[in-house]
Structure 1
Amino acid sequence: MRGESVMSLSLSPEGEARLFNVVCLLIGIIMFYRGITDFLLFEDNPYRTLLGLIFFGGVVSIWLMYQRRRIGFWMFCFFDFSVGIVFIFFLQDIWYHHVLPHVAYAALFVPFYGQMRWGRPPDPLDRRVPPEPKSNWTGWITDHLVSFVDRWPIVARTIERIRPLQRLVNRLVINGVTSAPPPRPLPFSLWTPDSGPVARVEDGSSTRGTFTSWPGLIDRAFTGRHLPPITEGEVAALPPVDEVVALFLRGSDFKPSGKTTALFCFFAQWFTDSFLRTNPEDARKNTSNHEIDLCQIYGLGEESTRMLREGTGGLLKSREGKRLPWEKLSPVYPPFLVDPEKLEVKPEFARIAFDPIMATSFDEKDPPHGMARDLRALLEKIGEWTQTDERWVWHYAAGLERANSTIMYSAINTVFLREHNRLARELGSEYPERAAASDGDDWLFQTARNINVVLLLKIIIEDYINHLAGSPFKLKLEQGFADRCRWYRTNRITLEFNLLYRWHAMVPDVFHLGGRELKDQEFRFNNELLEQHGAEAVIHAASTQKAGRLVLSNTPSFLKHPELRSIAFARQFRLAGFNAYRRRWQLPSYKSIAELTGGNSALTQALERLYPDLNGIRGVERVELPVGLLAEARSANQVLPPLLQRMVASDAFSQALTNPLLASFVYGVNCFTEYGVGEIERTGSFADVVHRNQTLGTEPVSADFSNPAFTGDTPA
């Protein structure tokens, strides 16, 4: 809506705006010329020097009017009035020689007063949701600091040696990245007023909107969302799902990452499966605890946790596997889930629930999507090959239904189970009197669990995120400082966070183990294979082979259906486009698809065909988030494109550093003991945990997320 107008011009809005710009230019040139002449040519006359400064003030006023700022008009009137005062009272000039023209200059701007606004006028781009980001000092400092350190690694090493400086830079980077999007609580979620469950669809045809509501704000069973839904018409105009999925699929050409190992790929799946948990009965909801809590081995609630505990010494249930020729002791693995004779889930594990509420307070009512006793039926949807009797009897008891999905998932669970039991035994040895108390088993278990969870948090920040960041400056886990940040809020998983973690392109076509090439069905749901080689050998094998590069046209064919479900899921809830999320994370919009792809002609043509300009909306604004995240150009040594990197980092920091175990009044020897604090401080990587839990007799193994031979000569 335009502001009030003093005079009316019989021109179109565009013509009036162009005329206003011409008037600003002409009078601005006159004022600038007068300022130069009066300020420089009359050095001996202080009144002329003053006039020069006033004319320069007039130039500034005209610039503000050109920006459609009303303050500029009133400043110009003030400076014009000042010109009259100087000429009439100090220079004794006849008023109509110099004053009258300046009155006319001011009058020329009166018809355009309606185009101006108090404060910053609305930018046409601001009508987009969200508007184009404005610069802020924290983002500016963070971006330039990271860029400077990346160019000069020696600076990073110097900063890391000076502890106070390292802490300052560490906090600036973390706070700058995490403050990019608005903090929780978010006004929108996937809540809708439907009275019953909303099933997932796979054709993208069913779309649902939402609005701010009380249940949407407080009920974390409904997944959150960062941006409001787009219109149904915009979703309907998107290209067919099958054509979009074709962008993701790998042909015969596997694109390896020069930097990322397959271990990172499998660890990312294991890590995110614990909190990115869409409710299979209702697509609006999740079955997540919204915390990084090692529910993979502890379960989603205390009732389930009790079923996984030994009941003595603070230990988790475990068993000894068959000793391999090189092992001096029998290796430790999770207990078997299934009775091998009855082929049924053992009664001691049957009530492990895969819903947080039921896992916490079991009331004999089945959770909406089952318990451990129903696991075989739940997994049959994947394929009958996953549940043959030979494979079924090798399933491990664990906290989540996906625990046996790959031999790497089982290996990582095994490592953290061993670490928990190691910690519990060491605590019992260090504090025998406390361990012998009536609640000693509970104290040992909960203290070991607390330490184990914080070890995982350290791995996420200092190993996982540092690998993705690719910066010579290594971020550290700091407890306490997050308490004072504006983003220190209750965790909530969002739709966008769920979708951005679909890193199927990282999965290799085959997994090399023991001199064999294993196809996907061979290393999935096959724990017998894990124990034939040992958890250490499986981790070493994953760490010494390359993951796929996270780009389009690199998803293996056996993961086509998950890609299709991701695109359909985004459309079902009318997810905003890629450029909208650039703006939400304080990155400037791309003006064209060619700019988005960095000039990749083949990819540009493919995207322009699928997302042409339509109804006044540029094609680049229509590119969907899952597509844009992988299509975006990045430097050769970066694992992730810019937006994906920023979204992952901000969510990881805001989810990890708000963990209650890191709070100022929780973290310390009362929570972890002195021994526990020492274990936390000496751990900085997943490899640290692996190495101290290797079975005696096994050779030292590699457990790195990054390829140590990476030099930047090949794309990351």
Structure 2
Amino acid sequence: MTAAMRSKRRDKLVPRLRVFLLQNFAPVWRTVERVPPLARLVNRLIINTACNTAAFRPHAMSTLGDYTSWSSLTDRTYLGRMIPPLPAAARDGPSLAETTALFAPQGPQQQCPKSTLLFPIFAQYLTDGFLRTSSTDRARTTSNHDIDLSPLYGRTPAQTLALRAAPDQGRGKGRLKSQWIGDEEFPPDLYRTGTSDIAADFADAHGTALLDLPLGMNADPPWAAGEHSRRRLFAVGGDRVNSTALVAMLNTLFLREHNRLAAELERRNPGWDDTRIFETARNIVIVLFIKIVIEEYINHISSACFRLRADPRVAWNAPWNKPNWMTVEFSLLYRWHSLVPETMLWDGERMDTAAILLDNRKLIEAGLAKAFKWAGQTPAARLGLHNTAIYLENRLTVESRAIEQNRARRLPGYNAYRQAMGMNPVDDFDCMTGDRARQEELRALYGTPEAVDFYVGLFAEDAGLNTPMPPLLGAMVALDAFSQALNNPLLSRQVYCKETFTGYGLEVIEATGTLWDVLVRNLGPTAPSDIRAEDVRMTRPDWRRRFSAF
């Protein structure tokens, strides 16, 4: 055996061995978790391994141009690039229509064996805060590039100010504006009752909105006057929060948590002014949100037995701890349309998921606790090709636009990104999927895996063992989640302290690791008595771990 052959075998063996060790021996990993110094060491090793697989920021290029310039390194209105683009007209691919057909449904939608609907809903709420490709120039972004909960607090200081309640309104200091409907607290209405006019609190003297308007409001045909307010669309910090009642549900939860924290901070610190209470509550909510990202969301995605922790110390001396800059690849890989089920459980019956698009009435009628419970009872759909919900079937333009963006930005192919992530390139389609029909379909369209578009390759792979994610997609999500969450300024060595959050705030952060932890603090007096932590999970109650064979 030649040295090259031995090296190739080792390159394949080491990753398989690492996966085998992490996915097996669950009792051993439970023991490790109970020994804090050992758990911190393993946690650090896993996170650093994920973050060290690809090149660190700053990336040499952005979507501004095909070469490095001062502007490409500093103008953050453009998306970054993980790897350089292909030369212009480098290759001819299949037609846009043929490629888009890979995402069209074929028969009944398949379920994800691991995830509930809470998983894709949380993913949407998370990414809507920082993945904001411009609708007028697909090379640009309107993102702040950080996990800053802008769907709750707004993207700009002016939007934040519009969403804040004045202390002289009898609500106390540091609060976000809200309304009470019965015994439940919700964001305020964006539109005046019976009209399509923006409510006075969220419009300037000329009636122009101070907030980003909900996406889809200008759809053809135009909405009738009054339809805007009839659907009870909320005044919120992001234009995608109202996209479904379940995304609005998450935003409502964090609004309640902010106002609850502000009330407690005001009680404990009577000398503080309105702004200090608001900013301190905001600091706490952003960090507890990041903890949920790592400790519930990423642990759900992970196939490992070991449960990861959001330990800020992991990033303090890490070489990957660099300022965030969202990339064009990251903005594409989060197009998880196929995870959304065609129907969901609602009050014990099946309901078309389309019934809650751009309409928050059902959330208001059900209340926050029941909405969370029903979302947690609904299985997500399988992430992958040919599994888009029927109600999106006539809207496959969302997939064609992603493919167009992939090609317009001249992204290298699927195998180039596997190699950029430290993975072996695929030499045949049977390495991507075990489904023979899919293999033949891809072979007929592309000929060779080298020709597969990046966007298509992400979803063409079979899901990995004990995870809802295909391998390349999962590796890229882990890289970006860790390196763009744990480097948040609020988690830095000199900032993560009681002076920033108060001692009480640090206690709340430490006690938070799941959505249930936040929900149980904000259930309200009318919440159903039978709701349990097991009802509010991203992982299905019937999911069971499978153990890998080496």
Is TM more than 0.5 here? Answer: yes
Is 1:532 the counterpart of 2:532? The answer is no
SS, match of residue 260 in structure 1: strand
User: How do 1:462-473 residues align onto structure 2 when only pairs under 5 Å count?
Assistant: 462-473=295-306
Contact 2:202 2:209 in 1 (8 A): no
User: How do 1:698-709 residues align onto structure 2 when only pairs under 5 Å count?
Assistant: 698-699=527-528, 700-701=531-532, 702-709=535-542
Contact 2:162 2:210 in 1 (8 A): no
For 2:249 and 2:77, the matched residues in 1 are separated by 30
Contact 1:275 1:288 in 2 (8 A): yes
For 1:650 and 1:589, the matched residues in 2 are separated by 19
Partner of 2:282: 449
The Cα of 1:386 is off from its aligned counterpart by 6.3
Sort the Cα spacing of 1:609 and 1:455 in 2 relative to 1 into closer, same or farther, 3 A.
same
Sort the Cα spacing of 1:388 and 1:178 in 2 relative to 1 into closer, same or farther, 3 A.
farther
Cα deviation per residue 1:153-190 (whole Å; 9 max; x = unaligned)?
01110110111110000000000101111000101110
SS, match of residue 201 in structure 2: coil
Is 1:379 the counterpart of 2:216? The answer is yes
For 2:428 and 2:282, the matched residues in 1 are separated by 50
Structure 2: which amino acid aligns with 1:221? T
Partner of 1:316: 176
SS, match of residue 344 in structure 1: coil
Runs (5+) with no aligned partner, structure 2: 168-172
For 1:371 and 1:186, the matched residues in 2 are separated by 36
For 2:385 and 2:88, the matched residues in 1 are separated by 27
Contact 2:196 2:225 in 1 (8 A): no
For 1:241 and 1:566, the matched residues in 2 are separated by 10
The Cα of 1:469 is off from its aligned counterpart by 0.4
SS, match of residue 529 in structure 1: helix
Cα deviation per residue 1:306-357 (whole Å; 9 max; x = unaligned)?
1111122110011101x3xxxxxx1000011111155310232125xxxxxx
Is 1:624 the counterpart of 2:457? The answer is no
Cα deviation per residue 1:198-241 (whole Å; 9 max; x = unaligned)?
xxxxxxxxxxxx22121111111100011111133334x10011
Is 1:427 the counterpart of 2:265? The answer is yes
For 2:125 and 2:277, the matched residues in 1 are separated by 26
The partner residue of 1:644 within 440, 460, 473 is 473
Is 1:573 the counterpart of 2:395? The answer is no
Cα deviation per residue 1:97-116 (whole Å; 9 max; x = unaligned)?
xxxxxxxxxxxxxxxxxxxx
For 1:481 and 1:636, the matched residues in 2 are separated by 27
Partner of 2:430: 594
The partner residue of 2:94 within 202, 224, 239 is 239
User: How do 1:143-162 residues align onto structure 2 when only pairs under 5 Å count?
Assistant: 144-162=17-35
The Cα of 1:475 is off from its aligned counterpart by 0.2
The partner residue of 1:258 within 96, 113, 136 is 113
**RMSD over aligned Cα atoms:** 2.7
Partner of 1:80: none
Contact 2:191 2:228 in 1 (8 A): no
Cα deviation per residue 1:391-421 (whole Å; 9 max; x = unaligned)?
4341111111122110001111100000000
**Structure with the greater alpha carbon radius of gyration:** 1
The partner residue of 1:406 within 216, 224, 244 is 244
Sort the Cα spacing of 1:133 and 1:465 in 2 relative to 1 into closer, same or farther, 3 A.
farther
Runs (5+) with no aligned partner, structure 1: 1-24, 26-62, 68-122, 124-131, 193-209, 324-329, 352-363, 613-618
For 2:510 and 2:295, the matched residues in 1 are separated by 12
For 1:143 and 1:443, the matched residues in 2 are separated by 51
SS, match of residue 358 in structure 2: coil
The partner residue of 1:562 within 398, 413, 417 is 398
Q: Which moved more, 1:388-397 or 1:563-572?
A: 388-397
The Cα of 1:371 is off from its aligned counterpart by 4.7
Contact 1:470 1:638 in 2 (8 A): yes
Sort the Cα spacing of 1:295 and 1:228 in 2 relative to 1 into closer, same or farther, 3 A.
same
Is 1:227 the counterpart of 2:92? The answer is no
Sort the Cα spacing of 1:341 and 1:386 in 2 relative to 1 into closer, same or farther, 3 A.
closer
User: How do 1:342-353 residues align onto structure 2 when only pairs under 5 Å count?
Assistant: 342-350=195-203
Aligned residue pairs, count: 533
Sort the Cα spacing of 1:174 and 1:165 in 2 relative to 1 into closer, same or farther, 3 A.
same
Is 1:606 the counterpart of 2:459? The answer is no
The partner residue of 1:280 within 109, 131, 135 is 135
For 1:540 and 1:454, the matched residues in 2 are separated by 24
Sort the Cα spacing of 1:348 and 1:133 in 2 relative to 1 into closer, same or farther, 3 A.
farther
Cα deviation per residue 1:642-680 (whole Å; 9 max; x = unaligned)?
111110000000100110000000001000000000000
Cα deviation per residue 1:49-91 (whole Å; 9 max; x = unaligned)?
xxxxxxxxxxxxxx89xx8xxxxxxxxxxxxxxxxxxxxxxxx
For 2:504 and 2:128, the matched residues in 1 are separated by 30
Contact 1:149 1:155 in 2 (8 A): no
The Cα of 1:595 is off from its aligned counterpart by 2.0
Partner of 2:170: none
For 2:438 and 2:324, the matched residues in 1 are separated by 37
For 2:19 and 2:515, the matched residues in 1 are separated by 25
For 2:511 and 2:28, the matched residues in 1 are separated by 25
SS, match of residue 250 in structure 1: coil
Sort the Cα spacing of 1:374 and 1:632 in 2 relative to 1 into closer, same or farther, 3 A.
closer
User: How do 1:452-491 residues align onto structure 2 when only pairs under 5 Å count?
Assistant: 452-491=285-324
Structure 2: which amino acid aligns with 1:486? P
